Structure 1
Amino acid sequence: MAFGFKYGTNYDYETSEDESLSFIGTISWGTIILNDRRDDSKLKINYRCASIGNGKGLPVNMSHSDFSNWSGGDAVVANRHFYDGVFPCQGYMIGAGGGIGLTDSAENSASVTLVLFGMAPVFAGVRMWGASVAALPGVGLSAGVARFWVA
């Protein structure tokens, strides 16, 4: 992972869940769970994000993923100490996704997201990807401002 960050952390991506509502822009909210390799404890990070982007499909859509949907992610990297004490903070979420929607499939869409903690400066980041259920077909790219806090 080459964000320009200098350090790895003791945290690994474990899973996440997300809800998104789109009407030209997108509002999303969810939880990211990171696992601390030192003691196997969990860091549950909640977020809310408002984003804008460009895509193909209807201007209205909604999607849902939960902890049981397939997902993965890279190790968390940082430029300083990363632990529950750095939250709450603001940051950015940048994503790309697409789906076929309108099927009986439990998972009909997928996305990849770059999560950046901190605004000026960004002090940590993680990449994550996974499957979800979308109401309608479409593909797109988006970027937004997010608020993060520990559950």
Structure 2
Amino acid sequence: MFKDMMKIYPKGLIAVLFLVSCTGCGIYSFSPGGKSSIKTIAVTQFENKTIEYGLSSRMTDLVIDAFISDGNLKIVSQSEADATLVGVMTNYERKPYTYDESDVVSQYVVKIVFDITLQGENEKELWRERFYSEGIYSAEEQTEDDGQALAAEKLVIDIINRTTKSW
């Protein structure tokens, strides 16, 4: 069959078809860098609409650190940025999660909700999304701060992925 094909199609044509079929693979990238005009980002201080003091500031710092580690977008001042990330912590709660056989709390859950908006030039909304996360921690071995850290870690990953990987 191959010999018959070689008679019908010249070797040059087969080579060209092979090369053309391979070129699509060479330019494909899993990195969003080539898909967006956004190369720089500013992260504003996240607003806190809850009674939980300090967590929104820690979240701001964690998100900035995550963008730096990720490397897809460069952190710059708001006046120099292609886009600005704006966040509002809208809900925070800590509740018992599980009880032992004596009805004593053995685990707590910390739930955090942030409304995040990515704005482009002239504060044009590029996307807006509500992010929810929870952190479960042991009542005996850990503190509420540990639960907050677990929830914050998940939130940061979701925010970074939404901002950089969904273009």
Structure number with higher relative contact order (C-alpha < 8 Å, ≥ 6 residues apart): 1
TM-score for the superposition, normalised by structure 1 = 0.30
Please tell me whether Structure 1 or Structure 2 has the larger radius of gyration of its CA atoms. Answer: 2
Higher strand share: 1
